[in-house]
Amino acid sequence: MHHFHYSNGQLYCEGVAVAAIAAKVGTPFYLYSHATLQHHFQVFDRAFGETPHLVCFAVKSNSNLAILRIFINQGGGVDIVSGGELFRALRAGVAPGKVVYSGVGKRPDEIRYALEQGILMFNIESPQELQVLNQAAGQMGRRARIALRVNPDVDPQTHPYISTGLKQNKFGIDIDRSVAEYLIAKQLPHLEIVGVACHIGSQLTQLSPFIETLGRLKELIARLRREDIQIRYLDIGGGLGIQYNEETPPHPVEYGRSIIQELQGLDCTLILEPGRVLVGNAGILVTKVLFTKQTEAKYFIIADAAMNDLARPSLYGSYHGIQPVVEKDRREVTASLVGPICESGDFLAKDRLMPAFDPGELVAVMSAGAYGFTMSSNYNSRPRVPEILVHKNEFYVIRQRETYEDLIRGEEIPICLTGG
Protein backbone atom coordinates (compact mmCIF):
# COMPACT_ATOMS: atom_id res chain seq x y z
CA MET A 1 0.00 0.00 0.00
CA HIS A 2 1.03 3.64 -0.33
CA HIS A 3 -0.22 7.15 0.41
CA PHE A 4 -0.38 8.48 -3.17
CA HIS A 5 -4.00 9.12 -4.11
CA TYR A 6 -6.25 11.34 -6.21
CA SER A 7 -8.54 13.96 -4.73
CA ASN A 8 -10.67 16.14 -7.01
CA GLY A 9 -8.57 15.07 -9.97
CA GLN A 10 -5.26 15.99 -8.31
CA LEU A 11 -2.58 13.49 -7.30
CA TYR A 12 -1.67 13.87 -3.64
CA CYS A 13 1.13 12.51 -1.50
CA GLU A 14 -0.48 12.22 1.94
CA GLY A 15 -2.04 15.67 2.45
CA VAL A 16 -0.01 17.62 -0.12
CA ALA A 17 -0.84 18.10 -3.81
CA VAL A 18 2.02 16.91 -6.00
CA ALA A 19 1.46 19.81 -8.39
CA ALA A 20 1.95 22.27 -5.52
CA ILE A 21 5.32 20.72 -4.73
CA ALA A 22 6.32 20.90 -8.40
CA ALA A 23 5.43 24.59 -8.47
CA LYS A 24 7.80 25.20 -5.55
CA VAL A 25 10.78 22.98 -6.38
CA GLY A 26 10.57 22.52 -10.16
CA THR A 27 10.94 19.23 -12.01
CA PRO A 28 12.11 16.51 -12.08
CA PHE A 29 12.17 15.39 -8.43
CA TYR A 30 11.79 12.31 -6.28
CA LEU A 31 8.92 12.35 -3.81
CA TYR A 32 8.53 10.07 -0.78
CA SER A 33 5.71 9.48 1.69
CA HIS A 34 6.75 9.35 5.36
CA ALA A 35 3.55 7.53 6.32
CA THR A 36 4.17 4.82 3.73
CA LEU A 37 7.79 4.32 4.76
CA GLN A 38 6.91 4.06 8.43
CA HIS A 39 3.96 1.75 7.79
CA HIS A 40 5.97 -0.58 5.57
CA PHE A 41 8.70 -0.94 8.19
CA GLN A 42 6.21 -1.62 10.97
CA VAL A 43 4.31 -4.24 8.95
CA PHE A 44 7.52 -6.01 7.98
CA ASP A 45 8.93 -5.94 11.51
CA ARG A 46 5.70 -7.14 13.12
CA ALA A 47 5.50 -10.03 10.64
CA PHE A 48 8.22 -11.73 12.69
CA GLY A 49 6.44 -11.19 16.00
CA GLU A 50 8.29 -12.43 19.06
CA THR A 51 10.89 -14.32 17.02
CA PRO A 52 14.30 -12.80 17.85
CA HIS A 53 15.16 -10.72 14.81
CA LEU A 54 16.74 -7.53 13.55
CA VAL A 55 15.50 -5.67 10.47
CA CYS A 56 18.54 -4.19 8.68
CA PHE A 57 17.41 -1.94 5.83
CA ALA A 58 19.40 -2.41 2.61
CA VAL A 59 20.97 1.04 2.23
CA LYS A 60 21.76 0.49 -1.45
CA SER A 61 18.06 0.71 -2.30
CA ASN A 62 17.67 4.26 -0.93
CA SER A 63 20.46 5.94 1.01
CA ASN A 64 19.03 9.37 1.81
CA LEU A 65 19.77 10.34 5.43
CA ALA A 66 16.15 11.20 6.17
CA ILE A 67 14.92 7.85 4.84
CA LEU A 68 17.51 6.02 6.92
CA ARG A 69 16.50 8.00 10.02
CA ILE A 70 12.85 6.93 9.62
CA PHE A 71 13.83 3.26 9.84
CA ILE A 72 16.42 3.83 12.56
CA ASN A 73 13.77 5.60 14.65
CA GLN A 74 11.67 2.42 14.37
CA GLY A 75 14.52 0.38 15.89
CA GLY A 76 16.01 -0.83 12.61
CA GLY A 77 19.58 -1.48 11.63
CA VAL A 78 21.24 -1.34 8.21
CA ASP A 79 22.78 -3.66 5.65
CA ILE A 80 25.69 -1.89 3.94
CA VAL A 81 27.96 -2.74 0.99
CA SER A 82 30.51 0.10 1.14
CA GLY A 83 32.33 2.43 3.47
CA GLY A 84 30.27 5.30 2.11
CA GLU A 85 27.05 3.55 3.09
CA LEU A 86 28.47 3.01 6.59
CA PHE A 87 29.30 6.72 6.80
CA ARG A 88 25.76 7.63 5.75
CA ALA A 89 24.16 5.23 8.20
CA LEU A 90 26.27 6.46 11.11
CA ARG A 91 25.50 10.07 10.19
CA ALA A 92 21.79 9.14 10.21
CA GLY A 93 22.19 7.80 13.76
CA VAL A 94 22.37 4.02 13.44
CA ALA A 95 23.85 2.05 16.33
CA PRO A 96 27.05 0.35 15.05
CA GLY A 97 25.89 -2.87 16.70
CA LYS A 98 23.00 -2.95 14.21
CA VAL A 99 25.17 -2.82 11.07
CA VAL A 100 25.97 -5.81 8.85
CA TYR A 101 28.51 -5.38 6.06
CA SER A 102 28.07 -7.40 2.86
CA GLY A 103 29.70 -7.04 -0.57
CA VAL A 104 32.29 -8.94 -2.58
CA GLY A 105 34.89 -6.17 -2.80
CA LYS A 106 35.54 -4.55 0.58
CA ARG A 107 38.67 -2.38 0.37
CA PRO A 108 41.24 -2.45 3.23
CA ASP A 109 40.37 1.11 4.24
CA GLU A 110 36.66 0.24 4.34
CA ILE A 111 37.38 -2.83 6.48
CA ARG A 112 39.41 -0.76 8.94
CA TYR A 113 36.67 1.88 9.11
CA ALA A 114 34.05 -0.74 9.92
CA LEU A 115 36.31 -2.35 12.54
CA GLU A 116 36.87 1.03 14.19
CA GLN A 117 33.11 1.55 14.45
CA GLY A 118 32.48 -1.87 16.00
CA ILE A 119 29.81 -3.12 13.60
CA LEU A 120 27.72 -6.21 14.35
CA MET A 121 29.33 -8.45 11.72
CA PHE A 122 31.02 -8.76 8.36
CA ASN A 123 29.42 -11.07 5.79
CA ILE A 124 32.50 -12.66 4.22
CA GLU A 125 32.24 -13.44 0.50
CA SER A 126 35.58 -15.11 -0.37
CA PRO A 127 38.45 -17.04 1.25
CA GLN A 128 40.88 -14.21 0.53
CA GLU A 129 38.60 -11.71 2.26
CA LEU A 130 38.68 -13.95 5.33
CA GLN A 131 42.47 -13.63 5.50
CA VAL A 132 42.50 -9.89 4.84
CA LEU A 133 39.96 -9.23 7.58
CA ASN A 134 41.86 -11.40 10.07
CA GLN A 135 45.07 -9.51 9.31
CA ALA A 136 43.41 -6.08 9.60
CA ALA A 137 41.73 -6.97 12.89
CA GLY A 138 45.04 -8.26 14.29
CA GLN A 139 46.85 -5.06 13.32
CA MET A 140 44.16 -3.05 15.13
CA GLY A 141 44.10 -5.28 18.20
CA ARG A 142 40.48 -6.31 17.61
CA ARG A 143 38.40 -9.39 16.85
CA ALA A 144 36.05 -9.13 13.92
CA ARG A 145 32.65 -10.78 14.17
CA ILE A 146 31.88 -12.67 10.98
CA ALA A 147 29.39 -14.73 9.04
CA LEU A 148 30.18 -16.43 5.76
CA ARG A 149 27.81 -15.46 2.99
CA VAL A 150 27.03 -18.77 1.37
CA ASN A 151 25.78 -19.31 -2.16
CA PRO A 152 23.10 -22.03 -2.09
CA ASP A 153 22.70 -22.35 -5.90
CA VAL A 154 18.97 -21.60 -5.73
CA ASP A 155 17.21 -20.00 -8.69
CA PRO A 156 15.37 -16.91 -7.38
CA GLN A 157 13.27 -16.70 -10.55
CA THR A 158 13.98 -13.02 -11.06
CA HIS A 159 15.88 -10.85 -13.57
CA PRO A 160 19.40 -12.28 -14.13
CA TYR A 161 21.03 -8.95 -13.22
CA ILE A 162 19.53 -9.11 -9.71
CA SER A 163 19.98 -12.84 -9.16
CA THR A 164 22.72 -13.45 -6.59
CA GLY A 165 22.33 -17.04 -5.34
CA LEU A 166 23.35 -19.18 -8.34
CA LYS A 167 26.74 -20.82 -8.87
CA GLN A 168 27.51 -18.49 -11.78
CA ASN A 169 26.92 -15.35 -9.67
CA LYS A 170 29.86 -13.49 -8.13
CA PHE A 171 28.40 -13.47 -4.64
CA GLY A 172 29.18 -15.62 -1.65
CA ILE A 173 30.99 -18.91 -1.05
CA ASP A 174 29.65 -22.14 -2.49
CA ILE A 175 27.59 -23.75 0.26
CA ASP A 176 29.33 -27.11 -0.26
CA ARG A 177 32.74 -25.48 0.34
CA SER A 178 31.60 -23.33 3.22
CA VAL A 179 32.19 -25.84 6.05
CA ALA A 180 35.86 -26.07 5.10
CA GLU A 181 36.10 -22.27 5.09
CA TYR A 182 34.37 -22.07 8.47
CA LEU A 183 36.93 -24.52 9.87
CA ILE A 184 39.71 -22.27 8.54
CA ALA A 185 38.03 -19.22 10.07
CA LYS A 186 37.76 -21.02 13.40
CA GLN A 187 41.57 -21.20 13.54
CA LEU A 188 42.15 -17.53 12.71
CA PRO A 189 42.86 -15.71 15.97
CA HIS A 190 41.33 -12.35 15.19
CA LEU A 191 37.95 -13.56 13.94
CA GLU A 192 34.85 -14.55 15.90
CA ILE A 193 32.33 -16.69 14.01
CA VAL A 194 28.82 -15.56 14.90
CA GLY A 195 26.63 -16.28 11.91
CA VAL A 196 25.64 -17.63 8.53
CA ALA A 197 24.49 -15.25 5.79
CA CYS A 198 22.74 -15.70 2.46
CA HIS A 199 20.97 -13.50 -0.10
CA ILE A 200 19.68 -15.05 -3.31
CA GLY A 201 18.40 -12.05 -5.25
CA SER A 202 16.02 -9.14 -5.52
CA GLN A 203 12.37 -8.65 -6.56
CA LEU A 204 11.35 -12.22 -5.69
CA THR A 205 7.62 -12.80 -6.11
CA GLN A 206 7.36 -16.38 -4.86
CA LEU A 207 8.06 -17.98 -1.49
CA SER A 208 9.46 -21.25 -2.84
CA PRO A 209 13.04 -19.97 -3.49
CA PHE A 210 13.21 -18.62 0.08
CA ILE A 211 11.98 -21.91 1.54
CA GLU A 212 14.37 -23.99 -0.56
CA THR A 213 17.25 -21.76 0.59
CA LEU A 214 16.27 -22.05 4.25
CA GLY A 215 16.31 -25.83 4.00
CA ARG A 216 19.92 -25.74 2.83
CA LEU A 217 20.89 -23.21 5.48
CA LYS A 218 19.43 -25.37 8.25
CA GLU A 219 21.49 -28.33 7.06
CA LEU A 220 24.61 -26.15 7.02
CA ILE A 221 24.04 -24.85 10.55
CA ALA A 222 23.54 -28.41 11.83
CA ARG A 223 26.86 -29.44 10.24
CA LEU A 224 28.63 -26.45 11.74
CA ARG A 225 27.32 -27.20 15.21
CA ARG A 226 28.63 -30.75 14.92
CA GLU A 227 32.01 -29.13 14.33
CA ASP A 228 31.51 -27.09 17.52
CA ILE A 229 30.95 -23.89 15.56
CA GLN A 230 28.07 -22.14 17.27
CA ILE A 231 25.89 -19.94 15.08
CA ARG A 232 24.02 -17.12 16.81
CA TYR A 233 22.76 -15.16 13.80
CA LEU A 234 21.15 -16.30 10.57
CA ASP A 235 21.13 -13.51 8.00
CA ILE A 236 18.66 -14.53 5.28
CA GLY A 237 19.10 -11.32 3.26
CA GLY A 238 16.24 -9.52 1.59
CA GLY A 239 14.72 -9.75 -1.85
CA LEU A 240 10.97 -9.76 -1.24
CA GLY A 241 9.39 -8.14 -4.29
CA ILE A 242 6.75 -5.47 -4.77
CA GLN A 243 4.01 -4.85 -7.32
CA TYR A 244 5.20 -2.71 -10.22
CA ASN A 245 2.65 -3.98 -12.70
CA GLU A 246 0.83 -7.31 -12.43
CA GLU A 247 3.14 -9.10 -10.00
CA THR A 248 1.56 -10.75 -6.96
CA PRO A 249 4.38 -10.99 -4.41
CA PRO A 250 3.69 -12.50 -0.98
CA HIS A 251 2.58 -10.08 1.73
CA PRO A 252 5.24 -9.57 4.42
CA VAL A 253 2.95 -11.30 6.93
CA GLU A 254 2.82 -14.41 4.73
CA TYR A 255 6.57 -14.20 4.18
CA GLY A 256 7.25 -13.92 7.90
CA ARG A 257 4.90 -16.76 8.80
CA SER A 258 6.54 -19.10 6.30
CA ILE A 259 10.05 -18.30 7.48
CA ILE A 260 9.20 -18.67 11.15
CA GLN A 261 7.55 -22.03 10.49
CA GLU A 262 10.52 -23.27 8.45
CA LEU A 263 13.07 -22.25 11.10
CA GLN A 264 11.32 -23.56 14.20
CA GLY A 265 13.78 -24.77 16.83
CA LEU A 266 16.85 -23.34 15.09
CA ASP A 267 17.70 -21.04 18.03
CA CYS A 268 19.21 -18.19 16.01
CA THR A 269 18.50 -14.49 15.87
CA LEU A 270 17.23 -13.69 12.38
CA ILE A 271 18.74 -10.81 10.44
CA LEU A 272 16.54 -9.54 7.61
CA GLU A 273 17.68 -7.13 4.91
CA PRO A 274 14.59 -5.67 3.22
CA GLY A 275 15.13 -2.83 0.78
CA ARG A 276 12.73 -2.55 -2.15
CA VAL A 277 9.76 -3.87 -0.16
CA LEU A 278 10.08 -0.96 2.29
CA VAL A 279 10.81 1.92 -0.09
CA GLY A 280 9.78 0.90 -3.62
CA ASN A 281 6.14 1.93 -3.53
CA ALA A 282 6.83 4.76 -1.09
CA GLY A 283 8.37 7.00 -3.74
CA ILE A 284 7.64 8.41 -7.19
CA LEU A 285 9.57 10.40 -9.77
CA VAL A 286 7.76 13.53 -10.94
CA THR A 287 8.64 14.89 -14.37
CA LYS A 288 7.26 17.44 -16.84
CA VAL A 289 6.51 16.89 -20.51
CA LEU A 290 8.67 19.07 -22.77
CA PHE A 291 7.50 17.99 -26.22
CA THR A 292 5.54 15.33 -28.05
CA LYS A 293 6.83 13.93 -31.32
CA GLN A 294 5.14 11.76 -33.94
CA THR A 295 7.43 9.93 -36.37
CA GLU A 296 6.48 7.52 -39.12
CA ALA A 297 7.20 4.63 -36.77
CA LYS A 298 6.44 5.82 -33.23
CA TYR A 299 4.94 8.40 -30.92
CA PHE A 300 7.26 9.93 -28.32
CA ILE A 301 6.48 11.88 -25.17
CA ILE A 302 9.66 13.74 -24.24
CA ALA A 303 10.01 14.60 -20.55
CA ASP A 304 12.62 16.41 -18.48
CA ALA A 305 13.51 13.25 -16.52
CA ALA A 306 15.80 10.71 -18.13
CA MET A 307 17.74 7.48 -17.72
CA ASN A 308 20.33 9.28 -15.60
CA ASP A 309 17.54 10.05 -13.10
CA LEU A 310 15.89 6.61 -13.19
CA ALA A 311 18.08 3.91 -14.72
CA ARG A 312 15.93 0.83 -14.06
CA PRO A 313 13.87 0.84 -17.29
CA SER A 314 16.98 1.18 -19.47
CA LEU A 315 19.07 -1.21 -17.36
CA TYR A 316 16.56 -3.97 -16.64
CA GLY A 317 13.68 -3.23 -18.98
CA SER A 318 11.70 -2.69 -15.79
CA TYR A 319 8.11 -1.47 -15.61
CA HIS A 320 6.97 1.64 -13.77
CA GLY A 321 3.38 2.83 -13.81
CA ILE A 322 2.84 6.15 -15.62
CA GLN A 323 0.11 8.38 -14.18
CA PRO A 324 -1.00 11.99 -14.71
CA VAL A 325 -0.53 14.37 -11.81
CA VAL A 326 -3.73 16.15 -12.88
CA GLU A 327 -6.55 13.96 -14.20
CA LYS A 328 -8.66 15.12 -17.13
CA ASP A 329 -10.52 13.65 -20.08
CA ARG A 330 -7.95 12.59 -22.63
CA ARG A 331 -7.30 9.88 -25.16
CA GLU A 332 -4.73 7.14 -24.72
CA VAL A 333 -1.86 6.50 -27.09
CA THR A 334 0.79 3.84 -27.55
CA ALA A 335 3.93 5.82 -26.87
CA SER A 336 7.40 5.84 -25.38
CA LEU A 337 8.08 8.21 -22.50
CA VAL A 338 11.67 9.31 -23.08
CA GLY A 339 14.14 11.84 -21.75
CA PRO A 340 16.73 14.28 -23.12
CA ILE A 341 19.73 11.94 -22.84
CA CYS A 342 21.62 11.30 -26.09
CA GLU A 343 21.05 7.54 -26.04
CA SER A 344 18.36 5.49 -27.77
CA GLY A 345 18.19 3.51 -24.54
CA ASP A 346 16.93 6.59 -22.67
CA PHE A 347 13.34 5.77 -21.80
CA LEU A 348 11.11 5.59 -18.72
CA ALA A 349 8.39 3.59 -20.48
CA LYS A 350 8.65 2.00 -23.92
CA ASP A 351 5.88 1.29 -26.45
CA ARG A 352 3.16 1.38 -23.81
CA LEU A 353 -0.44 2.48 -23.75
CA MET A 354 -0.53 5.68 -21.69
CA PRO A 355 -2.35 9.00 -21.45
CA ALA A 356 -1.73 11.40 -24.35
CA PHE A 357 0.14 14.00 -22.32
CA ASP A 358 0.57 17.53 -23.63
CA PRO A 359 3.67 19.71 -23.25
CA GLY A 360 3.80 21.28 -19.80
CA GLU A 361 1.87 18.49 -18.07
CA LEU A 362 3.23 16.73 -15.00
CA VAL A 363 3.75 12.97 -15.04
CA ALA A 364 4.18 10.64 -12.05
CA VAL A 365 6.49 7.65 -12.57
CA MET A 366 5.26 5.30 -9.88
CA SER A 367 7.06 2.83 -7.59
CA ALA A 368 10.37 4.66 -7.96
CA GLY A 369 11.45 4.74 -4.31
CA ALA A 370 13.94 1.87 -4.61
CA TYR A 371 17.05 1.99 -6.79
CA GLY A 372 15.93 5.31 -8.20
CA PHE A 373 18.02 8.14 -6.84
CA THR A 374 20.75 5.80 -5.59
CA MET A 375 21.46 4.66 -9.16
CA SER A 376 21.23 8.15 -10.67
CA SER A 377 24.19 9.89 -12.28
CA ASN A 378 25.37 13.10 -13.90
CA TYR A 379 25.49 11.61 -17.39
CA ASN A 380 25.26 14.33 -20.07
CA SER A 381 26.29 16.75 -17.28
CA ARG A 382 22.77 16.76 -15.86
CA PRO A 383 22.51 17.89 -12.23
CA ARG A 384 20.95 15.25 -10.01
CA VAL A 385 17.39 15.96 -8.94
CA PRO A 386 16.12 16.89 -5.48
CA GLU A 387 14.46 14.48 -3.08
CA ILE A 388 11.32 15.57 -1.23
CA LEU A 389 9.66 13.98 1.81
CA VAL A 390 6.01 14.56 2.69
CA HIS A 391 4.95 14.21 6.30
CA LYS A 392 1.19 14.67 6.70
CA ASN A 393 0.42 18.18 5.34
CA GLU A 394 4.00 19.43 4.96
CA PHE A 395 6.82 18.69 2.58
CA TYR A 396 10.56 18.88 3.20
CA VAL A 397 13.49 19.09 0.78
CA ILE A 398 15.73 16.25 2.01
CA ARG A 399 18.24 16.69 -0.81
CA GLN A 400 18.77 19.91 -2.71
CA ARG A 401 18.82 19.96 -6.51
CA GLU A 402 22.39 20.00 -7.76
CA THR A 403 23.69 23.09 -9.55
CA TYR A 404 26.03 23.47 -12.50
CA GLU A 405 28.77 24.36 -10.01
CA ASP A 406 28.19 21.03 -8.29
CA LEU A 407 28.93 19.29 -11.59
CA ILE A 408 32.53 20.53 -11.68
CA ARG A 409 33.30 20.52 -7.96
CA GLY A 410 36.63 18.76 -7.45
CA GLU A 411 37.76 19.20 -11.05
CA GLU A 412 40.83 21.28 -11.97
CA ILE A 413 42.52 22.43 -15.16
CA PRO A 414 46.26 21.79 -14.56
CA ILE A 415 48.68 24.64 -15.08
CA CYS A 416 50.15 22.93 -18.14
CA LEU A 417 46.85 23.58 -19.95
CA THR A 418 46.44 27.20 -18.93
CA GLY A 419 49.32 28.65 -20.92
CA GLY A 420 51.10 29.68 -17.74
pLDDT (0 to 100) of residue 137: 98
Q: What pLDDT is recorded for position 420?
A: 59
pLDDT of the chain along its 420 residues, tens only?
Answer: 689 999 999 999 999 999 999 999 999 999 999 999 999 999 999 999 999 999 999 999 999 999 999 999 999 999 999 999 999 999 999 999 999 999 999 999 999 999 999 999 999 999 999 999 999 999 999 999 999 999 887 755 544 544 444 455 556 788 889 999 999 999 999 999 999 999 888 788 888 888 888 989 999 999 999 999 999 999 999 988 899 998 888 899 999 999 999 999 899 999 999 999 999 999 999 999 999 999 998 999 999 999 999 999 999 899 999 999 999 999 999 999 999 999 999 999 999 999 999 999 999 999 999 999 999 999 999 999 999 999 999 999 999 999 999 999 999 999 999 875
User: What's residue 168's pLDDT?
Assistant: 54
What pLDDT was estimated at residue 208? 86
Tell whether 387 is in a known binding site. Answer: no
DSSP 161: G
Task: Round to whole Å and give the CA distance between 397 and 387.
Answer: 6
Dump the DSSP string for 374-391: GG---GGGPPPPPEEEEE
Q: Is 274 annotated as a binding residue?
A: yes
Residue at 346 is within a domain: no
Among 13, 198, 268, 342, the active-site one is: 342
- Distance between CA atoms of 49 and 131, rounded to whole angstroms? 38
Residue 207 lies in a domain: yes
d(CA 37, CA 391): 10
Alpha carbon of residue 271 to chain centroid: 16
At what angle are helices 208-226 and 175-187 packed, to 10 degrees?
A: 40
The pLDDT score that the predictor gives to residue 363 is 98
12 annotated ligand binder: no
Are β-strands 121-124 and 144-151 bridged in parallel, bridged antiparallel, or unpaired? parallel
Question: How far is CA 101 from its chain centroid?
Answer: 14
Question: In the chain, how many domains are there?
Answer: 1
Q: Output phi, psi for 10, to 5 deg.
A: -110, 135
How many C-beta atoms lie closer than 10 Å to residue 283's C-beta? 29
Which sign, positive or negative, has the C-alpha torsion 125, 127, 131, 132?
negative
- Is 376 inside a domain boundary? no
The CATH number given to whatever domain includes residue 60 is 3.20.20.10
- Give the Å distances, CA to CA, from 119 to 80, 112, 254, 337, 366: 11, 11, 31, 44, 35
Is residue 45 a part of any domain in this protein? yes
Residue 44 and residue 258: Cα distance in Å, rounded? 13
Of 193, 210, 192, nearest to 201 (Cα)?
A: 210
**Residue 347 in domain:** no
Q: What is the pLDDT of residue 159?
A: 42
Separation of alpha carbons 83 and 286, rounded Å: 31
Closest CA to 32 of 89, 71, 74: 71
75 marked ligand binding residue: no
In a domain, 350, yes or no: no
pLDDT of residue 284: 98
Who's near 80: CB < 8 A, 6+ residues apart?
Answer: 59, 86, 89, 99, 100, 101, 102, 103
Question: Is the distance from CB of 101 to CB of 120 less than 8 angstroms?
Answer: no
> Is 273 annotated as a binding-site member?
yes
- Please state whether the peptide bond connecting residue 340 to the residue before it is cis, i.e. omega within 30 degrees of 0: no
Q: Is 69 annotated as a binding residue?
A: no
Q: DSSP secondary-structure letter at 264?
A: T
- Whether residue 112 is annotated as binding a ligand: the answer is no
Domain residue limits at 141 = 33-277
Domain membership flag for residue 23? no
Q: Side-chain half-sphere of 96: how many Cα atoms within 13 Å?
A: 11
For residue 208, tell me if it sits in a domain: yes
CA triple 93-95-101, angle to 5 deg: 105
User: How much is the pTM?
Assistant: 0.94
Active-site residue flag, 56: no
